[in-house]
Amino acid sequence: MPWLEAFLGRRCPNCGGALDAAGVCRACREVLVPERSYGGVFLARYPRVKGLVRAAKYRGHRRAARWAAGRIAGRLAACGWAIEAVAYVPGYPWRAALRGGYLPAELAAGIAGELGLPLFRGLVRRRYAPSQTRRATRHLLPQVFGVRGRPPGVVLLVDDVYTTGATFRRAAEALLAAGASTVYGAFLAVADPERLRRLPYRKV
């Protein structure tokens, strides 16, 4: 109901313009077209989708997150990757509780639903990751992720933003160690698509 949204002054969570469609505005729909880079699919480079990431992550814009998941799923369907289940890079439970939702899990559930695939919830965080300021001690810390149960062979691992890929790699390695053979990636935003060149991760 565009007239109602206009009356209520609703704004596009991505660009802040008038919301003339469900989720994000028509102008944003034109530019937010998912791309594939190596073994990963992403909705857009970070600057282009920054507003949507923040709105979905911190302001609970579920509708925008669902729209993004549907669009990413459409691009994944064209990749022919034989994915068996969808997992997500897990966060810290207390953070999810504070925000009332966890974006990577919502994206993964949306993508799994669109593709008719099961959601694998067994990837968990084992302990607090070191902060960037404690970089020097990072190598001394044990792995951050663990897996409950056995993941299927080919897994799509979802995260909201892919920056250096260090966290994603650790999560993917945990899945491979637990029995997955191949881990593809899907993201709302990437800083640099060329950094996806190591994807998919495969069991060696």
User: Residue 21: is it exposed, middle or buried by C-beta count within 10 angstroms (0-12/13-18/19+)?
Assistant: middle
Helix (H, G, I), strand (E, B) or coil at 136: helix
| Residue 15 within binding range of Zn ion, rule CB under 5 A | yes
Count of residues in contact with Zn ion, rule CB under 5 A: 6
Nearer CB in complex with Zn ion: 25/73? 25
The per-type count for the chain, helices as H runs and strands as E runs, is 7, 8
User: Residue 88: is it exposed, middle or buried by C-beta count within 10 angstroms (0-12/13-18/19+)?
Assistant: buried
The only residue of 14, 44, 87, 168 in contact with Zn ion, by rule CB under 5 A: 14
CA distances from 44 to 66, 100, 168, 204 (A): 15, 25, 18, 30
Residues from 67 through 106 that contact Zn ion (CB under 5 A): none
Show the site string, 16-55: x = touches Zn ion by CB under 5 A, - = not: -x-------x--x---------------------------
Nearer CB in complex with Zn ion: 17/193? 17
Strands 154-162 and 35-37 turn out to be unpaired
**CB 10 to Zn ion: min, Å:** 11
Nearer CB in complex with Zn ion: 29/36? 29
Nearer CB in complex with Zn ion: 12/180? 12
- The span from the CA of 160 to the CA of 186, in Å, is 8
Nearer CB in complex with Zn ion: 28/108? 28
User: Given the rule CB under 5 A, which residues bind Zn ion?
Assistant: 12, 14-15, 17, 25, 28
